[in-house]
Structure 1
Amino acid sequence: MQSLNSDRQAKFAAAIAAGGEKAEKAKLTLLPVLGDEVQNLYRTVLDITVLDNVARQRPDQHGNVIYRRLPAKAAQLVLARYRNAWSGYFEAQKVFAAGGAAAGAMTGAPKPPNYLAKADRFVLELPLTQIGSTLIGLGDRQIPVDFEETLSLTSEQMTAWNEYRIGDEVARAAAKRGYRGGKPQHLRIVPQGRGIKFEVVLRVSSRLPADSLLAKLMQSLGKALEQQCSRRNDALLKAVAGLNVPAAGADRGLNNTLALAFSTGHNAEVISGGRLDLILGRVDAQIDALKAMLTTPEVCALQARKEALELAGETLSRRERIDLATGLKAIYTNPAYQTLRAKRQRWVDDYLHKLSRGVVDLCAGRGVQVIALGQNRGWKDGVEMGAQQNRRFGRAPLTRLIDMIRYKAQARGIVVVTTEESYTSKTSFVSNEPLKCREDEKRSKKKAKKKDVEASSQPRAAQADTLKAQSDAPMGRRLKDERNTFVNHRETGRLARVHADVNGAFNMLRKVFKGFAYHRGLSLNYRLSRVSPRLGLTAIYLATGRRRIGADLGTAGSSTRRNPRNFIPLATAAEL
């Protein structure tokens, strides 16, 4: 490191002596050197130049420098992934030490990055500029496929590898996603169970419409939108809170994957989660049966003992924990189990992509400029609805769905914000009932306990409390036996009973836009939709005998063109 610093100092001195433009752009950055006193140990150890120089000179047990087995740029990218993993761990440690767990930002102490097992594979990242139109030309070299290097690729596999035109595949995938004119940067080879996956990092230019709300906010907020995700979301929430723009609110339901309500006067969209429950229920049942078959009696006994000890506030011994981890690893590394898990993951990815694409297309077609989504911190933790309902509630990875909607909406110039969604399903929208916040309610209850309640025994105080209790009475409620129905106590006619998830979606808009309230120009009618494997997000039409029930279930008739391929029997509507 001292020699590198000497070279940098010499180059800096030469640039200063040359004068002119070189002197103005000259900048001296010295590498940290390990010594008796180090100002920042983590920065010194994780400096990318330090790591690169150490790896270049470090031999393995056979005296070979592993660094040279890869192209220099690829080896540098491997080191960069290693550095990023440890840097993230140290940053998380800082947040945890500053009280991150107490503030709800973390559920426990951060764990350091773990090292791969001997026979495992790591992610390999290669610059596409060094690859060309085909993958790396291997020629006649023997390429091992196992760690001991006793088994190599066959001649047919070598031919397929050398003839695979990665450039054409990348161009085809980019065009399919609408990324025309993008420049491929890196190729990642990611190991996945019994196979690998190719990921390509693509550089694309910003496609924001110049007149979109997001483009205007990016100009006005500037660097505020370059912060971390939570701070960026807070900046957007503050910026749109006082606006009066076309918006859509989304509410996650138990029976429905998502409900969208629009401030534009269009009918709401209720996306059924029946197909999600049906398909994942079948796959989960297969996975459970396989796990039960693979679980040994010893592992069952250890799991039962662990649960019993946890109730008593105790833990397994170190030997028992090792035995249990070894037994569970044998289950999770089983080829049949990994095949089922991969099948499930592919189906979920396809479902979420079709759902998010349909949601964004629907919002863009209705002129929506802001999408408000609900996201509570740790909303799947501590849910007590029974084992079956808990599993249904946790099947869809909602954070991934929000991320997919966000990046697809941003390409259209639509702003996506998330906010806490407490009490949106328990509050009447059409009555403009005041919305509560769970965190604020907890704080107010703590303050109430500290107050003196002696005056409550006086008649006038008791009468005032009674009037207050009457004014605080709920203006509506969600039916327990009909989870899709919300009853408004102070309304009559068609507003007395509305779809519960549509009611929650409109309340999501009230959470974001402070001046938003119910008015006659809004539509509480809804269209029932589903995610089709062929058609994407599409309307549901129920057929019973000669009568066909349109998708706009909240209206007297449907003006939407019916697709004959999308008719289903009424008896199977729950399976959608």
Structure 2
Amino acid sequence: MTNQNTKLKGNYLIISKLQVKIKLDPKIKKIQRVAFKPTYGGYRLIVQYKTNKEISYLPDNGKYIGIDPGVDNAFTCAGNTGACPLLINGRSLKSVNQYYNKERSRLKSLQAKYHQLESTVQTKQGAKPVYQETKAMQRLTAWRNAKIRQFAHKASKRIVNYALSCEANTIIIGNNKSWKRSSDMGKRSNQNFIGILHKTMIDLIQYKANLQGITVITTNESYTSQTSALDHEKPCWENGNRSRQKQDKTLINRRIHRGLFKTNDGRLINADVNGALQIIKKAFPKFSFDKGIAGVVLRPIKWTPLI
């Protein structure tokens, strides 16, 4: 849309050409762009506006929050602030993805049954059928995307509030550029992991944290789950299992139970919390636990976004 057919009058956006009047947030004073995006049988209105707020980043105060993305625990937050670690429960989003995959497979099987084939494409495995995107599929995808957006906004807000309550001025998030493409956790686990849009959620965390003056750093998370934070091990290749195997050293099986990590001296820690702490060490090698870590041995706080 252009400035000639869109006007901002009070709290309302008026599109004269379409005879549409839409109420906007009162804080929107200057509109830069208005656009309609086709999406699953409908349109989404996109309003881009400019604010006069200048972001002033908080100084580094030595308090850090590390975030380890996952599936069952969508995000695990831990740091050296003395606060209890926070787990963002991802099971609700996992259930949404499982239902989506199951229902989409059912709809595709109906298309195959009634010969609704649109075309075929040649792949390395042979001819692959391509089916038309039906209205039922479009509604299903729109429902799933709405659930993901809702989860992402609620989870990102909770994480930023957690960092503010801990007075941590820096957040470090583990991220690998090719983790989705190269993941090999079995068919079902791969479906769940790839179905969760971690990149979208990380962008939202960064956006909301920056508005509060919190610095967000993304770093490679390799070897963070194989090395021990409480034993002050560096999360690097030399301490990983593959390196130990090449050096003919004994492999250390530290994941003694699902979600439980065992240190060299026998202490038990939540495996995702250990990963989050090692992610901090990736960005800040001299990172220490001067103020301790509450809830390492005990159960961390688990928070479930309602979607």
> What is the aligned partner in structure 1 of residue 303 from structure 2?
529
CA distance in 1, matches of 2:203, 2:284: 21
Asked if 1:195 corresponds to 2:42, the answer is yes
Answer whether contact 1:431 1:518 (CA < 8 A) is retained: no
What is the aligned partner in structure 2 of residue 477 from structure 1?
Answer: 254
Is the contact between residue 295 and residue 331 of structure 1 (CA under 8 Å) also seen in structure 2?
no
Which string of whole-angstrom CA distances, capped at 9 and with x for unpartnered residues, describes residues 537-565 of structure 1? xxxxxxxxxxxxxxxxxxxxxxxxxxxxx
Bigger shift: residues 185-194 or 342-351: 185-194
The offset of 1:244, in angstroms, is 5.4
- CA RMSD in angstroms comes to 3.0
Q: Secondary structure at the match of 1:359?
A: helix
Matched, 1:499 2:273: no
CA-to-partner distance for each residue in 1:88-136, whole Å, 9 max, x for gaps? xxxxxxxxxxxxxxxxxxxxxxxxxxxxxxxxxxxxx333785344534
Question: Which residue pairs with 1:246 in the alignment?
Answer: 63
In the TM superposition, what whole-angstrom CA distance separates every residue of 1:473-493 from its partner, at most 9, and x where no partner exists? 64x6123xx3210011323xx
Deviation at 1:289, TM superposition (A): 0.9
Q: Does 1:331 align with 2:132?
A: yes
Q: Deviations over 1:373-400 (max 9, x none)?
A: 0111211113222111110111211111
Give the TM-score, by structure 2 length.
0.86
CA distance in 2 between partners of 1:402 and 1:264 (Å) = 21
Shift of 1:282: 1.8
Matched, 1:489 2:292: no
Whether 1:430 aligns to 2:230 is yes
Aligned-partner Cα distance in 1 for 2:212–2:108: 44
Question: Structure 1-normalised TM-score?
Answer: 0.47
Question: Moved runs in structure 1, 4+ residues, more than 6 A?
Answer: none
Specify the structure having the higher radius of gyration (Cα): 1
CA contact (8 A) 1:267 1:527 kept: yes
Task: Name which of 131, 145, 150 aligns with 2:7.
Answer: 131
Q: Which amino acid aligns with 1:488?
A: T
Show the counterpart of 1:365: 165
Q: CA–CA distance in 2 between the matches of 1:419 and 1:428?
A: 18
- The one-letter amino acid of 2:3's match is P
What is the one-letter code of the residue matched to 1:477?
A: R
Is contact 2:116–2:132 with CA below 8 Å preserved after alignment? no
AA in 1 matched with 2:305: V
Instruction: Determine whether 1:509 maps to 2:284.
Output: no
Judged with a 3 Å threshold, the aligned counterparts in structure 2 of structure 1 residues 507 and 428 are, in CA distance, closer, same or farther, namely same
What is the rounded CA distance, in whole Å, between the counterparts of 1:261 and 1:420 in structure 2? 17
1:275, CA displacement in angstroms? 1.1
User: In the superposition, relative to structure 1, how do residues 190 and 298 fare at CA in structure 2: closer, same or farther (>3 Å)?
Assistant: closer
Listed one character per residue, the Cα deviations across residues 384-440 of structure 1 (whole Å, up to 9, x for unaligned) are 2211111011121111111000010000000000000001111111111222149x9
Q: Secondary structure at the match of 2:177?
A: coil
Letter in 2 for 1:517: S
Of Structure 1 and Structure 2, which has the larger fraction of its residues in helix?
A: 1
Q: Distance in 1 between matches of 2:261 and 2:4?
A: 55
| Aligned CA distance change for structure 1 residues 260 and 516 (closer, same or farther; 3 Å) | same
User: What residue number does 1:290 align with?
Assistant: 107
Query: 5+ unaligned residues in a row in structure 1: which ranges?
Result: 1-124, 139-160, 214-242, 310-315, 317-323, 449-464, 534-576
Residues 501 and 433 of structure 1: CA distance in aligned 2, closer, same or farther (over 3 Å):
same
Count of aligned positions? 298
Structure 2 residue corresponding to 1:411, chosen from 178, 200, 211? 211
Structure having the higher strand fraction is: 2
8 A Cα contact 2:87 2:301, kept in partner:
yes
Q: Helix, strand or coil for the counterpart of 1:515? A: coil
Write the deviation string for residues 263-317 of structure 1: whole angstroms up to 9, x where unpaired.
Answer: 11111011222111122222322122112212365959957x74534xxxxxx6x
The residue that corresponds to 1:374 in the other structure is: 174
Q: Distance in 1 between matches of 2:158 and 2:191?
A: 25
Flag the 1:519–1:136 CA change in 2: closer, same or farther, 3 A.
closer
Alpha-carbon distance between aligned partners in 2 of 1:301 and 1:128, rounded to the nearest angstrom: 43
Contact 1:128 1:187 in 2 (8 A): no
Return the offset for 1:357: 0.9
Ranges in structure 2 where 5+ consecutive residues have no aligned partner: none
Cα-to-partner distance string for 1:109-167 (whole Å, 9 max, x where unaligned): xxxxxxxxxxxxxxxx33378534453434xxxxxxxxxxxxxxxxxxxxxx52x323x
Q: What amino acid does structure 2 have at the position aligned with 1:498?
A: I
Determine if contact 2:71/2:94 at 8 Å carries over to the other structure: no
- Aligned partner letter, 1:331: Q
Structure 1 residue 265 corresponds to structure 2 residue 75: no
In 2: Cα distance, 1:512 partner to 1:521 partner? 19
Deviations 1:237-264 (A, max 9, x none): xxxxxx6521100012332111100211
**What's 1:208 paired with?**
55
